């Protein structure tokens, strides 16, 4: 196990965590961004399986949130307006008339205080930020700690911890785009995905959640027994069309299988298992990813990666049938997502 540090552009710190199986994860203190995850295929060839910029400076204008920590609230907040305890807060408007992923100056655009660590079993980096009352329009001073840990079991563990001095809204995630082929020029339509979810939240034409739960049975959103992402990308199902011919939807996990996701690429043999304490996940198939970005490994393409944004849904601000994103003052926010990589037998 080892950890290396490197100064890159703008004085940013890049941490590279490597385990005894030569799996490595590289993380910037800027935006908490995962720039690379290198894992072996069935022939033991190491390849980077997340999308990242070739030039670190490009992360300053990371409009697609490549690899970034997202907060204070992951997802879209309708009309960029938040009401808590009878008080309305106007948030940063950064997508149409709405607010997305914490706003233009969200957690993906700041330098986190960083501390590397190493034990006999793991290496990692601890990121900390104090978000002042009013930052992005949100109430409350929030102390946030995000810990990235790499183990010898080829697990990347992300722990999210926070407290606020006022009742506020908070749901944090990581916005990495996975492509298990290791080739960003190859679309992820042939990735086979399993998600333990009976229902998604319906989206309107602005991709704002309506609060209506849709049963996935007999739709391209039924991943309970696994299916190819191509099924939704090529579908004429209205919800796939609304999402620019793909997926950008919140899947609410079944309680008995909370947070269990599996992703498989049959050509490389790579498999990704995701387990989380979050109540659901936004699966986004890069339907609107800007094309031609200079990435490590080649230019970006539509459907060049798939995001699994484990989180609660901001639609819960309007609809009480969903797990809430409201955090009471002085109550700990504690969530964890674990990404485990292995090779199919």
Compute the C-alpha angle 64/286/274, nearest 5°: 95
CB distance 180 to 215 below 8 Å: no
How would you classify the pairing of strands 168-169 and 142-151? unpaired
Helix (H) or strand (E) holding 230: helix 230-233
CB distance 168 to 82 below 8 Å: no
Read off the CATH number of the domain in which 275 is found: 2.70.98.10
Average pLDDT score over residue span 299-310: 98
CB distance 171 to 309 below 8 Å: no
Query: How far are the Cα atoms of 18, 83, 147 from residue 121, in angstroms, in the given order?
Result: 12, 44, 15
Q: Cα(109)–Cα(262) distance, rounded to whole angstroms?
A: 30
CB distance 71 to 172 below 8 Å: yes
Cα four-point dihedral sign 19, 25, 31, 32 = negative
Residues belonging to the active site? 175, 309
What is this structure's pTM? 0.97
| Structure tokens that stand for 109 in this block | 């655009």
| Structure tokens that stand for 295 in this block | 């990435």
Domain housing 32: 2-343
- CB neighbours of 45 closer than 8 A, spacing ≥ 6? 182
Looking at the structure of the chain, the number of domains it has is: 1
Each residue of 8-43: pLDDT tens digit? Answer: 999 999 999 999 999 999 999 999 999 999 999 999
Q: Cα(256)–Cα(313) distance, rounded to whole angstroms?
A: 19
Each residue of 122-147: pLDDT tens digit? Answer: 999 999 999 999 999 999 999 999 99
Each residue of 84-101: pLDDT tens digit? Answer: 999 999 999 999 999 999
Residue 256's pLDDT band (cuts 50, 70, 90): low
Q: Cα(127)–Cα(67) distance, rounded to whole angstroms?
A: 15
| Structure tokens that stand for 144 in this block | 């946030």
């Amino acid at each position: 196990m080892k950890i290396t540090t490197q100064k890159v552009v703008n004085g940013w710190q890049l941490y590279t965590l490597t385990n005894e199986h030569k799996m490595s994860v590289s993380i910037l203190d800027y935006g908490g961004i995962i720039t690379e995850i290198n894992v072996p295929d069935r022939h033991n060839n190491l390849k980077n399986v997340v999308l990242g910029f070739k030039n670190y400076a490009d992360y300053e204008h990371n409009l697609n949130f490549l690899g970034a920590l997202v907060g204070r609230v992951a997802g879209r907040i309708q009309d960029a307006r938040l009401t808590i305890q009878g008080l309305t807060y106007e948030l940063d408007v950064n997508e149409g008339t709405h607010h997305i992923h914490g706003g233009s100056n969200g957690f993906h655009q700041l330098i986190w205080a960083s501390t590397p660590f190493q034990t006999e079993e793991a290496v990692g980096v601890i990121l900390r930020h104090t978000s002042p009352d009013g930052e992005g329009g949100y109430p409350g001073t929030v102390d946030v700690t995000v810990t990235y840990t790499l183990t010898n079991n080829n697990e990347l563990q992300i722990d999210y911890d926070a407290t606020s001095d006022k009742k506020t809204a908070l749901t944090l995630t990581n916005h990495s785009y996975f492509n298990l082929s290791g080739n960003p020029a190859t679309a992820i339509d042939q990735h086979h995905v399993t998600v333990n979810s009976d229902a998604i939240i319906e989206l309107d034409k602005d991709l704002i959640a309506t609060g209506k739960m849709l049963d996935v049975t007999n739709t391209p959103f039924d991943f309970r027994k696994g299916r190819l992402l191509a099924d939704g990308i090529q579908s004429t199902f209205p919800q796939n069309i609304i999402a620019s011919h793909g997926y950008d939807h919140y899947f609410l996990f079944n309680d008995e299988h909370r947070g269990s996701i599996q992703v498989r690429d049959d050509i490389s043999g790579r498999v990704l298992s995701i387990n989380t304490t979050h109540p659901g996940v936004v699966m986004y198939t890069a339907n609107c990813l800007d094309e031609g970005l200079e990435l490590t490994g080649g230019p970006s393409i539509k459907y060049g990666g798939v995001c699994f944004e484990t989180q609660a849904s901001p639609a819960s601000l309007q609809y009480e049938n969903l797990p809430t994103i409201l955090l009471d003052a002085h109550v700990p926010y504690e969530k964890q997502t674990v990404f485990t990589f292995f090779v199919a037998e």
